[in-house]
Structure formats: structure tokens, C-alpha cells
Amino acid sequence: MLTAEIISVGTELLMGQIVDTNAQYISQRLAEAGINQYFRATVGDNHDRLYDTIRTAVERADLVILTGGLGPTEDDLTKETAADVLGYGGDFILHEASLAAMERRFSHMHRVMTANNRKQAMFPKEAFIMPNANGTAPGCILEKEGKAVILLPGPPREMVPMFDESVMPYLLKRNQGKLYSRTLRIYGMGESAVEDRLRDMIDSQTNPTIAPYALTGETTLRVTARCRDDAEGEALVRPVIEAIRQRLGDVLYSTHGEQLHEVCARLLTAQGKTLAVAESFTGGLLASTLICVPGSSAWMLEGCVTYSNAAKERRLGVLPQTLAAHGAVSRETALEMARGMRGTSGADFALATTGIAGPDGGTPEKPVGLAYLALAYEGGEEVHELRLVGNRERIRGTGVLEALDMLRRRLENI
Amino acid sequence: MLTAEIISVGTELLMGQIVDTNAQYISQRLAEAGINQYFRATVGDNHDRLYDTIRTAVERADLVILTGGLGPTEDDLTKETAADVLGYGGDFILHEASLAAMERRFSHMHRVMTANNRKQAMFPKEAFIMPNANGTAPGCILEKEGKAVILLPGPPREMVPMFDESVMPYLLKRNQGKLYSRTLRIYGMGESAVEDRLRDMIDSQTNPTIAPYALTGETTLRVTARCRDDAEGEALVRPVIEAIRQRLGDVLYSTHGEQLHEVCARLLTAQGKTLAVAESFTGGLLASTLICVPGSSAWMLEGCVTYSNAAKERRLGVLPQTLAAHGAVSRETALEMARGMRGTSGADFALATTGIAGPDGGTPEKPVGLAYLALAYEGGEEVHELRLVGNRERIRGTGVLEALDMLRRRLENI
């Protein structure tokens, strides 16, 4: 079995200015690919220390994967240092296609490309270059005597797509296998409860494997088969997914990795229905999450962030006496917001949120975290009372997920 | 100056099952304490590999801080391995106070303490023991020949309090110094352009140091002084920050690490002004970003996500003939959205966004990424045309930052 080591490069990592999510992401993908990892390192932007770290890793492992230090500045030394370790020296050549891509990118942004950016298009002539669709610095793979050093950019939104599109196929080819994965997403049951219910399956399964991943407020399982092709992979994972569904029930909301807002978008599109949202404590986050989905203009009519009472009355027709009698954070106000949003927008479904996100504004009767979600639709309406925990950001985020799950369950007639 | 290395122990880290927030936390605290870090490592629960990793770190650094592997199982090897490296052998003695604390903890939880837990109270006789208020495994500090190996439990809710209460005082006592940092935030100039302008300063400064780091769409500089106290630190960094401001001008929008929306919130609050936002392609992300700031209800009146033309007309009074003649994505529509939002909300400032976030909906005349931002206020209005790049998420994110910067500049009368 192949072994790999990940080296994260950047003084900002050593200073603790950012958390290293890249290393975790790559580790997960390597585990899926059946590649062993025994060591991982983090090192600053310093030639000698980086050299020692890469050399040690190259001696121990088949694959060394580095993230960071590919940028235009003098601090960005990863490519030059890796080339030194492999004995390629400083004899770099210009990769014309990368330079052209970089120039197009700057020109499109109406920005002038400074001369130091050119450095990002310089590579040892032996390098296999990986284009960067989401940033300026291309990645590359340097091979020597059966070892490979793989250089990736540091920003996760550049690193992740490059890893998926260019590195993973390379790794699978080297490892002479293929992976077939399905991602299962769960809302409304915590990671430990899910693992309790699946413990025996998780422990006994070897192909496919079942790996839990915890994301913020949601639980995700990845079922991964090692296989010759997709058809064999699907045949291996399908019965396992069905067994998981039997155990978890309707908290399992997607077996294809969709997020809650994507499931809602798919169901609305399939049913030819439209949606409008009225938000108070979620403050635009619900609309913004729904609108993430490409093509959302087909079903998303509009949103109102009615933060003040005046806006709730004027935009949605919430009655002043309702606000006076029950307060803005109440079952009654939530329902009037949803009805008002549905009436003024003409949407088939209207979702409304009102709550206390904190840190201020809580009272003994209405503490921080109290929230009401309402859904109005043809022939019915419903309202949920929630007690959300955590800081302001967490309370708003969970409120959005709860609202989406409420809509999802209505659309699925659960 | 003292140097430290962090070693995170645990096969679950190498498998990517959890992200290593401990290392980031400790790194930040070490930076604050003025302790240098050049390397960080992650290694699995394996004696030989752990031994090599600790030995290398002890040779290079004054302090080696390990997290994880202090538990009761046979896989938990950190304490035994660290003792081996320091030559303390396996001659552990029972620490009675730790055993008693563990027994109280189990009894309080109405659980029976299994025999393997006793291992957690066994230490080399030279160890300085740190109690664990939030879990069973105590930590310890092993000193030898001026070096210290510090062992901490893996779960962050146990590690963090132990670090703060026991390790930090130990480190500050040893180091007799501190660091003072200020974070500068820049919008509208890329990392490489900023570095070009500051190159000679970055290269020549030693105390304070100037370190650039790039976050999504924004550039950040950290100016860090080594000093005896905060007053000396501030005296050291202030002239450097002023010199940076001279060179960068008004793209430098914060010298205290605030983000754009925080600066807008502070300026609106100070000026006693209110804001409303009308969003099309940003879809609630602008409102949601602004509402992140605690207390935003004081100045944020409302938002409208007018995704459809009908909503633009009904909510904001955009004229049908404007939409017909110029389209929803146009200078004219953006201005009418801002004016309409200001008029209907009564806010002092109204920001409007309209654009094409993609991936569909672009045409040769109006490509994906084309966007207009408008700002209406007492006695004036302005509109910006933008060409944004990247995927849908990036286009929306950059649109929000541009809108916030537009508001910030108006509030600062730039």
C-alpha cells in the first residue's frame, strides 16, 4: 500500500491565524483512496526548515503532498524548495498556458498583473502542471524515482477543486483502483446518536467503508467502495445505504450528498412550486442559502428581511395589535409573517423566521435562542417553536437549517 | 527567544476524522507569549513513530507540547513514549490526588471506574502534574536539561482550560516577555500589490514584524512587536502602521482587525444613521452579513431580496418601463432599487445590488459576473459597475464586499 505525508506550509498556520482544514480534507480523501498516512507536518515559509521537512517526508513516504507557498511573493518558497530537495535545482521554465490563464484572469477583473505574479507560472521542466480554476497559482506534481511531490495552493477554495479534479485521479491511477462514494446527509440526529445506531456496521464494514463526518449542525456519512468501475461500486454501496436508511428513517434526507437547501430546490422544481421567505433573526441567511442553488430564480420569488416591527407591518401586513399582544418573537407573529409573505408575493410556500439571536435582547420569558418558524401553503400552515443554543452565528445558522428541514418535510409529505 | 513545537497525537487526526483545532489554539497562545514556532507535527498512536517525532522535536525546540494519547486504553501511549525519550523509563508512580479526583468524577456520574483508568494517574516521579477539571486524564510537564515536554489531553474542552490555567502561566514565567499584535485589513488591493508597495518595509523590519496573509477576497497584514508590555508594544507598532497607511492610502480600512461589515456597523452607529438593503444577485447575503454584528437592530431597518422583476416593482417601485428598456441588470434598475428601498424603508442609506451570478443567465452583452451596485442617501446617489469573476458563490461574496466597501467609503467621506 502506498504511503503519503501531508505538509502544510505557512507561517500563518504556525501562528495559529488559520486552522488547517486542508490537511483534514486531504487526509479524508487519502483514507478513501486506501493510502496510508503515518505523519503530517506544518512548517513556516522558510527555505531551510521547509527543505528539511520535505526531505524527511520524501525519505519516508511514497507521496508527499504540500499545500501553500505557491503565491507570487518572496515568502512563497514551496515550489523552489521542493525542486531543490528533488535535485531539480533552480532551473525553472515559463509555462506559457499558465501565464496566459493568469493574464486572462487579471484582465477579466480589470486589474493590472504585477510582475511578481509571473513567478507562479515558472516550473521545473519535469513538472506535471495542474491548472487552477479558482485562483492564480497552478499546482504541480514532481516525480522522481517512484516518489511524487504534489504541490497545491493554500486557499481551500483553490485547493479542494484542484485536489478533486487533478490529484485524486492521479492517486487512484497510481494505487490501481477506483473509489466509488456516496454521501448520506442527515438532519435532526447528532453524530454520536447516528454512530450508536450504526456502530456494528461501521466497525464490521471493510468494503464499502462507512465513515461519519461532522459538519456544522449536520451529520454526514460517506459510504465508499473500492472497485473496478462505477457499476461495481454502486452495486457494493446500494445495499449498505438501504440498511442505513432502515435504521435511521426520515432524518436521512439525502443519499447523494445534497444539502437541505438543494433538496428543497429539487423538490420545488419537480413540483413546479414557488417560494418566498420572510426573515427576522435569520436576517437574510435563509434567502441567501436558498439562492446558492443555480437556477433558483425559477422558484425563488423573493425575500423580506423584516428586522424592525415597522417593516413587519408594512411589508408583510403583520398586525400592530399582534406585535403588541404577543411580541415580535411569538407563534402568532411568525404565522402572520408567513401568511403575509405568501399573500404579498403570490408564492405557493412562504417560510417565516422570528427569534432572538443574542447576545442581547433575551428576557427570562423569552431567552436568547427562542425562535419560531412558520410555513404557510395552499390549504395549511404550521409553526414550530425552537430553543436554539450557541452564539449568534450558530443560532442563526441552526434556525436556517430548521426552516429548510421544515420545508423539506412538507414537500416530501413526511 | 524560546522555541516550541506542537505535536498532535492521534490516528483519527491522520485519518481526517477530526480537524485539529488544538494546534491552532496553542499556536495562537504561544504567539501571544512571544514563543517562536518553526515546526508542528501530527502522528498516530504508534510508539516508534511517536518516539521519533518527540525526539526530533526535543532536539530542535525548548518546549514540546503534545495533545492526545493520555487516555486509559492501550492505544494511549503519549506519556510512556515521552518518558522514554527523556530517559525516565517505565518507572511510573501513582499520583494519589489524581486517582482520588478520578474516583470522585466517576462516582459523581454514577459510573463504575474500570481498572484501566488507573493508568491515567500514573506518572514519572519527576512530573509536574496538571489537574483536569473537565475530564479524567491529568496533564503533566516533564523537564530535563532546560527542555520541557508538556502533555495535554486531546479533547479541546479539556485541553483549553488546562492550557489556560496551568500551561500559560508556566510559559510566561519561563519566557519573560510578550508579543503585541495589530491586524490591518485592506480591501481593493490584492496581496501581491500590497506586498509590492511594502516590500522594503517587510524585508527590513525585525521588531515589529509585518506579515501579510490572504483571506477570501481581502488582504490582511499583521504587525507584531516583541515587547515587555502592551504600552511598549503599541509604541513600537504605531509608527509602522502609520507608514503603511501612508503607502496604501484608503484601501487600508481597519487597523484593529475589523471586517468591512464591522466598520460599516461602527460608522453607522457613531453617526446615528440607518440602513436598508435591496438585493437581487446577492440574494440576502448582504443583509445577512450586516446582521452578523451584534446590536445591528439599532441601525439595520430591513432588507428585500427582490429576485423577480415583479418583486422589484411591487416592493421597491422599480418602473416596468425601466426593466423593459434596460433590463434587471442595469445601472438604471440598480439606482431605482436603491431609491425605492430608501423611500419605502425611511432609512438614511439604501444599498442595492443587481447582477448575474451564473452559471446560467449570461449573454454576450451582459456576461456572468456583470453587476451594478447603487447607494442612495440624503442628497445623493451613486452607482458602480462591476465585472466579478469566479463561481456563483464567489461572485456573490465579492459583490457583498464591494457593496460594503462602497458604503464604508461614503460613511467615511472618502
Separation CA A409–CA A253 (nearest Å): 9
Record: contact B40-A13, CB cut-off 8 A = yes
Are B14 and A108 an interchain contact pair (Cβ–Cβ within 8 Å)?
Answer: no
- For B281-337, the pLDDT digits (tens) are 999 999 999 999 999 999 999 999 998 999 999 999 999 999 999 999 999 999 999
- A287 with B283: Cβ contact below 8 A: yes
List the domains of chain A with CATH numbers: 3-174 (3.40.980.10), 178-254 (3.30.70.2860), 260-411 (3.90.950.20)
pLDDT (0 to 100) of residue B217: 61
Chain B interface includes A202 (CB < 8 A):
no
Chain B within 8 Å of A120 (Cβ-Cβ)?
Answer: no
**Rounded to an integer, what is the distance from CA B347 to the centroid of its chain?**
32
Q: Do A49 and B39 touch (CB under 8 A)?
A: yes
B116 part of contact set with chain A, CB < 8 Å: no
Q: What's the confidence (pLDDT) of residue A107? A: 87
According to the 3-state scheme, what is the secondary structure of chain B? Answer: CCEEEEEEECHHHHCCCCCCHHHHHHHHHHHHCCCEEEEEEEECCCHHHHHHHHHHHHHHCCEEEEECCCCCCCCCCHHHHHHHHCCCCCCEEECHHHHHHHHHHHHHCCCCCCHHHHHHHEEECCCEEECCCCCCCCEEEEEECCEEEEEECCCHHHHHHHHHHHHHHHHHHHHCCEEEEEEEEECCCCHHHHHHHHHHHHHHCCCCEEEEEEECCEEEEEEEEEECCHHHHHHHHHHHHHHHHHHHHHHEEECCCCCHHHHHHHHHHHHCCCEEEEECCCCCHHHHHHHCCCCHHHCEEEEEEECCHHHHHHHHCCCHHHHHHHCCCCHHHHHHHHHHHHHHHCCCEEEEEEECCCCCCCCCCCCCCEEEEEEEECCEEEEEEEECCCCHHHHHHHHHHHHHHHHHHHHCCC
B321 Cβ partners below 8 Å, 6+ apart?
A: none
Contacts of B283 in chain A (CB under 8 A): 287-288, 290-292, 296, 300, 303
Residues of A in contact with B205 (CB under 8 A): none
Distance, in Å, from the CA atom of A101 to the CA atom of B157, rounded to the nearest integer, reads 46
Cα→Cα distances B53→A24, A358, B45, B227, B390, Å? 20, 45, 12, 32, 41
Indicate the helix (H) or strand (E) that contains A221.
strand A218-227
Q: Which of A27, A134, A292 sits opposite B15 (nearest CB)?
A: A27
- For residues B31 and B183, give the distance between their C-alpha atoms in angstroms, rounded to a whole number: 14
Higher pLDDT pick, A295 / B216:
A295
- CA nearest neighbour of A266 among A257, A276, A258: A258
* Residue B141 to residue B151: CA distance in whole angstroms: 6
Nine-digit cell at B98?
489524581
The helix/strand/coil state of A173 is: helix
Tens digit of each residue's pLDDT (9 = 90 or more) over A166-210:
999 999 888 777 778 898 999 988 777 888 899 889 878 778 888
The band of B206, judged by pLDDT with boundaries at 50, 70 and 90, is confident
Span of A211-220, A247-256, B80-89, B126-135 with lowest mean pLDDT: A211-220
Question: Could you read off the pLDDT of A119-151 as tens digits, one per residue?
Answer: 999 999 989 999 999 999 999 999 999 999 999
- The pLDDT value recorded for residue A81 is 95
- Spatial distance between the Cα atoms of B409 and B414, rounded to a whole number of angstroms: 5
Contact B65/B6 with Cβ under 8 angstroms? yes
For range A309-332, the mean pLDDT:
96
Q: Is the pLDDT of residue B214 over 60?
A: no
- Which residues contact residue B252 at a Cβ distance below 8 angstroms, ignoring those fewer than 6 apart? B184, B185, B186, B244, B245
User: Looking at CA atoms only, how far is residue A388 from chain B in angstroms?
Assistant: 16
Out of B20, B26, B288, the one facing A288 most closely (by C-beta) is: B288
Q: Radius of gyration of chain A from Cα atoms? A: 26
Nearest-angstrom CA–CA distance, B331 and B366 = 12
Of A292, A301, A392, the CB nearest to B294: A392
Tell me how close the Cα of A216 comes to any Cα of chain B, in angstroms. Answer: 12
More confident residue, A179 or A84: A84
Q: Predicted confidence band at B357 (pLDDT cuts at 50, 70, 90)?
A: very high
Mean pLDDT of the region B24-47: 89
* Confidence class for position A19, pLDDT limits 50, 70, 90: confident
Mutation pick from A11, A259, A299, A302 vs chain B, by most beta carbons of B within 10 Å, is A302
Q: Cβ contacts (< 8 Å) between A311 and chain B: which residues? A: 301-302, 345
Average pLDDT over residues B356-379: 94
> Ranked by mean pLDDT, which of B74-83, B103-112, B167-176 comes out on top?
B74-83
pLDDT of residue A112: 84
Model pLDDT for residues A41-82, shown as the tens digit of each residue: 999 999 999 999 999 999 999 999 999 999 988 889 999 999
Residues A165, A169, A170, A171: what is their CA dihedral angle, to the nearest 10 degrees? Answer: 110
Between residues 158 and 197 of chain B, which touch chain A (CB distance below 8 Å)?
190-193, 195-196
CA distances from B6 to A201, A244, A406, B374 (A): 35, 39, 44, 49
The pTM for the full model equals 0.73
Quote ipTM for the complex. 0.70
The x, y and z cell numbers of residue A403, run together, are 426552516
What letter does residue A138 receive in the DSSP assignment?
Answer: -
Q: Which of residues 242-271 of A touch B (CB under 8 A)?
A: none
Cell representation of residue A359: 447576545
Separation of alpha carbons A82 and A85, rounded Å: 5
**For residue A277, which residues of chain B lie inside 8 Å, CB to CB?**
305
**Is pLDDT at A215 greater than 60 in this prediction?**
no
**Which residues in chain B are contacts of A15 at CB distance < 8 A?**
27-28, 31, 37, 211, 222
DSSP state of A163: I
Nearest-CA distance from A104 to chain B in Å? 11
Radius of gyration of chain B (CA): 28
